[in-house]
Amino acid sequence: MKNILVTGGCGFIGVNFIRYLLADPDFKGRIINADNLTYAGNPESLENIAERYPQRYYFEKADICDQKQIGAIFEKYHIDAIAHFAAESHVDRSIVGPDAFIRTNINGTFNLLEQTRRYQEQIVLFHHVSTDEVYGSLGDDGFFTETTPYDPSSPYSASKAASDHLVNAYHRTYGIPITISNCSNNYGPFQFPEKLIPLMILNALEGKPLPVYGDGKNVRDWLYVTDHCRALWTIMQKGQRGETYNVGGRCEMRNIDLVEMICDLLDRMAPDSLHKPHRNLITFVKDRPGHDQRYAIDFSKLEHDLGWSPEESYETGIEKTIHWYLENTKWVNRIKSGAYLSWIETHYADNAS
- Domain coordinates of the chain in residue numbers? 3-188+222-250+290-311+340-347
CATH number for the region 3-188+222-250+290-311+340-347 comes to 3.40.50.720
Tell me if residue 260 is catalytic: no
Position 141: which residue type?
Answer: D
For 165-189, the pLDDT digits (tens) are 999 999 999 999 999 999 999 999 9
User: Is residue 290 pLDDT above 80, yes or no?
Assistant: no
pLDDT tier at 93, thresholds 50, 70, 90: confident
Q: Read off the pLDDT of each residue in 263-275 and give the average, rounded to a whole number.
A: 96
Which runs of E-coded beta strand occur in the chain? 3-7, 30-35, 57-61, 81-84, 125-131, 178-183, 185-187, 210-213, 219-224, 243-247, 252-254, 282-285
What is the rounded average pLDDT for all residues in the chain? 92
3-state secondary structure of 318: helix
**What is the C-alpha to C-alpha distance for residues 117 and 136, in angstroms, rounded to an integer?**
31
Beta strands 219-224 and 252-254, pairing class: antiparallel
Catalytic annotation, pick one of 57, 77, 135, 156? 156
3 state SS of 244: strand
More confident residue, 276 or 194: 276
Catalytic residue list contains 132: yes
What pTM was computed for the model? 0.92
How high is the pLDDT of residue 338?
Answer: 64
Parallel, antiparallel or unpaired: strands 243-247 and 178-183? parallel
Q: Is the pLDDT of residue 87 over 70?
A: yes
Residues 119 and 170 sit within 8 Å (Cβ to Cβ): no
User: Can you list the pairs that 20-25 forms with residues at least 24 positions away whose Cβ atoms lie under 8 Å?
Assistant: 20/226, 20/229, 20/230, 20/233, 21/229, 21/233, 22/49, 22/52, 22/53, 22/56, 22/57, 24/233
Is 133 considered catalytic here? Answer: yes
Amino acid, res. 234: T
Q: Which of 86-90, 153-157, 217-221 is predicted least confidently?
A: 86-90
Cα-Cα-Cα-Cα torsion 271, 273, 277, 282, nearest 10 degrees, comes to: -140
The closest alpha carbon to 188, from 11, 83, 325, belongs to 325
Give residue-wise pLDDT tens across range 42-64.
888 998 999 999 999 999 999 99
4 DSSP β-pair partners: 31, 81
Residue 180 near residue 245, CB atoms below 8 Å: yes
Residue 77 has pLDDT above 90, yes or no: yes
Q: DSSP secondary-structure letter at 43?
A: G
With a CB cutoff of 8 Å and minimum separation 6, the contacts of 298 are 143, 144, 145, 246, 248
- CA–CA dist 150, 66 (Å, integer): 29
pLDDT given for residue 344 in this prediction: 42
What backbone phi and psi angles, to 5 degrees, belong to 23? -80, -10
Quote the CA–CA distance of 346 and 311 in Å, as a whole number.
39
What Å distances lie between residue 37 and 15, 19, 54, 233, CA to CA?
A: 12, 18, 22, 24
Catalytic residue among 35, 132, 164, 227: 132
Which of 35, 44, 133, 221 is labelled catalytic? 133
Mean pLDDT of 135-155: 93
Alpha-carbon gap, residue 259 to 316, rounded angstroms: 15
